[in-house]
Amino acid sequence: QHLLHISWAERPLRGSPFHVTVHGPSEASRIVCSGEGLHQGVLGQEIKSLIDTRRAGPGDLTARCVGPTKPAYCELYDHQNNTYTLSIKPQESGKHELIIEYNGDQVPGSPFNLRVAAAPDASRVHVYGPGVEHGVLDTFQSRFVCETKGAGAGQLTVRIRGPRGAFRVEMEREYQKDRTIICRYDPCEPGEYQLHIKWSGSHVPGSPFVVNIFKTAAELAAYLERHPQGAGGGGHSNGAIFDF
């Protein structure tokens, strides 16, 4: 606290002495930033992080974010306790650079590499393989592939309905960072199976797949003549989930 004396002709001005509060220099190095929104997000969804300035003293907090070709919108919400919520709204997917400054100095971790994934698009998921086709039990191959490349960030869900106790569901990624998922459900008795395959809650093209499994090749041939597209049905169900 300081007192500022101002006088004219040795007489103090009205209000003098003035009370002046002088704060110490702000320290951007004491800013703490946290939250997944500093490093990753999904286009069209909330991307948020928390910024704590309580140990840094008074200052001016700013944030800006730049994408591959377009800037992202940044909004700081003041909680009135020297903490802030940073909300980012990108205009495009891809790698973004997030710069957070306090009194013109970058805070620890800035610039942050923010990767914005495309919004989930179930129509871009491609499902194929013998496991989604009619067949004969003794020679049936239940393997099928879900290719999610280009479908954005999301969750792959596979749920199968069929005769009770007739199968189990397995899902595995072909390679650790691959977008191709190999699925198996290994039925052990004939019947009708429905494969509900969803990407972030939405059915992929062709889902639900209806697969009929027969005891003999003759039964399969007869069925295909009568019902080339199959029909719905269901009983016991099981499933598996994969996140991207």
Query: Across residues 145-171, what is the average pLDDT?
Result: 82
Bridge partners of 194, per DSSP, are 161, 210
Share of the chain above pLDDT 90, in %: 63
Asked whether 237 and 159 are in contact (CB, 8 A), the reply is yes
Other beta carbons within 10 Å of 135: 19
Where do the domains of the chain lie? 24-117, 122-226
How far apart CA 28 and CA 38 sit, in angstroms, is 17
Listed residue (200, 148, 202, 151) closest to 179, CA to CA: 148
Q: Domain 122-226 is in which class? A: mainly beta
Residue 177's pLDDT is 63
Q: pLDDT digits over 176-227, tens only?
A: 667 899 999 888 889 889 999 999 889 999 999 999 999 999 999 998 888 7
pLDDT at 15: 92
Q: How buried is residue 145: exposed, middle or buried, by Cβ count under 10 Å (0-12/13-18/19+)? A: middle
Q: What is the pLDDT of residues 50-109, one digit of tens each?
A: 999 999 988 899 999 999 999 999 999 999 999 999 999 999 999 999 999 999 999 999
Q: Do domains 24-117 and 122-226 have the same CATH topology?
A: yes
CATH 2.60.40.10 is right for the domain spanning 24-117 = yes
The DSSP secondary structure of 17-47, one letter per residue, reads SEEE--PPPP-GGG-EEESGGGTEEETTS-E
- Cα distance between residue 148 and residue 132, in whole Å: 17
pLDDT band, residue 150 (cuts 50/70/90) = confident
Rounded Cα distance between 115 and 40, Å, is: 5
